[in-house]
Structure 1
Amino acid sequence: MKAVITGASGGIGAAIAERLVREGTTTTLVGRNHERLTNAARRIEAAVPGADLQLEVADLELMADVRRLADRLAEEPPDVAISNAAVVAPIDAVTSEGLQRTLATNHLAPYLLFRTLAETDHPARFIVVGASPTALSRVPVDLDRLDSRDGLGPVPSFRPFAAYGRTKNMNAMFVYALARRLAGTAITVNGAHPGIIRDTGLGREARGLLKVSARILDQFRPGPEVGADTPAWLATSAEVAATTGKFFVKRKAVPTAPHTTDESRCDRLWEESARLVGLPITTR
């Protein structure tokens, strides 16, 4: 079996990779920094001698990089694709392509990657690592402007995290929309909340109260190996081999907010995302 994991230079992504290689899976680690990827591979190989690892360097905030990555992977499509990469970037941080960084990395990258891989028709499990459906119920996506800076709360230092929450709601909406379009194929699509986990790197660019509170709370949070459990289970368990269009917490399918499941809203997100990444609307 072959798997690919984005955001695999550390944290939950690297922990998922370690779980998969222990089961004999050939696993491709995707990250934007070659040195960090190499170090992650060394740690995994030390824990699992003989681990079959491959490395792919790609900056997922750049759609050009995502397209090249998707094209390379499509040459020998994976049996499992896990979108784990995520950032909490400053609200005004924009990529060289003119996209808000949080939106590009957290939503548009998996949208473009998975839509491209789906075109291969290779049997596969697609898994999107999301966030708490309970917490995210309070931050619906602004479908009129996906990078909207409005309604993100009164505390400036917490607004980047609220924007991150909106992209995590986009993840759930994308899972439902893609699963619906792939119904009847050999590709399944599911989402998973890994839990509130320390050492994910999400707070790397945090400022003010958000940075202070994150440091305090990290002392009480479980490690990446806990966060890896549900995504790795979705990738390998026979129990969910035919399951699609669901969102899981602690290996249990759970509902997400109505604003994430409404088909018309999901379709609007699909269409706007297609426009932003340059894909046709009507295909997978």
Structure 2
Amino acid sequence: MRAVVTGATNGIGEAVARRLASEGATVTLVGRSDERLRAARDRIAAAVPDAELTLERADLAELDQVRALADRLLATAPPDAVISNAALVTPLDRRTGGVPRVLTVNHLAPYLLLRLLADAVDRARFVVVGADPVSLARSPVDLDDLLFEHPERLGEPIGLRPFRAYGRTKNMNAMFVFALARRLAGTGVTVNGAHPGIIGGTGLAGEAPEVREIVARTFELDLASLPGPEVGADTPAWLATAPELAGVTGRFFVDRKPVETAPHTTDPARGDRLWTTSARLVGLPA
């Protein structure tokens, strides 16, 4: 089995890669820093001495690098599983080409990568790491303001807006899972989402460290007591490998169990609207 894991240089992504390597998969680690990629490879190899690992550097905030990554992945044997895990929280004014970095990394990059791969593979499992569907039920995507040009719509306090924008992108992940699964129905490619749990040690807010404490206070989280990335890796890794999931597609899983997500994520009309806008933003036909 050949697996690709984005955001694999720390946290849940590294734990997923380690789990898959321990089960005999050849794993491609995707990250934006050669140094961090090599460090993650060394940590995984220390835990799994016979691990077969390859490294792919790509900054998912740069869509040209996402396209080049897809080309490289398809130049050899196509992957059997792709775990789209990379995500971050950033200040809303951090943009590339006018597009917020949080939107590009969390939603547009997986949208582009998985669409490009889906066009070229006959059989594969795509797994998108999402977030808590219960909490996100209260954060529907504002389809009239995907670029967060009106941050006041994210509410108060101002310091929580980057996290709320992150929540919107996680809802986009769920919408994309269902939209892509519908379009690939009847093929050998399955698409499912997974909530890894509320996990510590992910580095999610590394670019906006002040948000971490605001979120902890607002939601009364004891950050020191949160489970670690290995716990968060369980459901995504299971979705990529479990024999009993052959052919299962268009579902969202928590603790290895399928769950329903909010109607605003499953509505086909909303999903199609997000799909069309995303296609325009990444330069693909709808």
> Where on the TM-score scale, by shorter chain, does this alignment land: which range?
over 0.9
Q: Which runs of 5+ in 1 are unaligned?
A: none
Report the counterpart of residue 194 of structure 2 in structure 1: 192
Give me the whole-angstrom Cα distance separating, in 1, the residues matched to 2:222 and 2:284.
Answer: 40
Report the counterpart of residue 55 of structure 2 in structure 1: 55
Preserved CA contact (<8 Å) 2:122 2:187: no
> SS at the partner of 1:187?
strand
> SS at the partner of 2:127?
strand
Report the counterpart of residue 92 of structure 1 in structure 2: 93
Preserved CA contact (<8 Å) 1:31 1:59: yes
Cα deviation digits, residues 17-69 of structure 1 (max 9, x gap): 01001111000000001101100110000000010000000000110110100
Cα deviation digits, residues 215-259 of structure 1 (max 9, x gap): 963201000000000000000001111100000000000011110
Aligned counterpart for 1:219 among listed residues 215, 224, 227: 224
Report the counterpart of residue 265 of structure 1 in structure 2: 270
The Cα shift of 1:212 comes to: 5.4
Q: TM-score, normalised by structure 1?
A: 0.96
Matches within 5 A, 1:147-226: 147-148=147-148, 149-208=151-210, 210-211=212-213, 213-214=215-216, 217-226=222-231
The 1:198/1:273 distance shift into structure 2, 3 A limit, reads same
Preserved CA contact (<8 Å) 1:157 1:206: no
Q: TM-score, normalised by structure 2?
A: 0.95
Q: RMSD between aligned alpha carbons? A: 1.3
The Cα shift of 1:210 comes to: 4.0
The 1:77/1:209 distance shift into structure 2, 3 A limit, reads closer
Q: Which runs of 5+ in 2 are unaligned?
A: none
Matches within 5 A, 1:138-149: 138-148=138-148, 149=151
The Cα shift of 1:204 comes to: 1.3
The Cα shift of 1:207 comes to: 4.9
Aligned counterpart for 1:247 among listed residues 239, 252, 261: 252
Aligned AA (1:81): V
Pair 1:124 & 2:129 matched: no
The Cα shift of 1:265 comes to: 0.2
Aligned AA (2:82): A
Cα deviation digits, residues 117-157 of structure 1 (max 9, x gap): 00113300000000000000111111122122242121111
Report the counterpart of residue 111 of structure 2 in structure 1: 111
Percent pairwise identity = 63
When the two structures are aligned, how many residues end up with a matched partner? Answer: 280
> SS at the partner of 1:27?
strand
Preserved CA contact (<8 Å) 2:163 2:211: no
Aligned AA (2:52): D
Preserved CA contact (<8 Å) 1:107 1:167: yes
Cα deviation digits, residues 184-219 of structure 1 (max 9, x gap): 000000000000001111121335464355496320
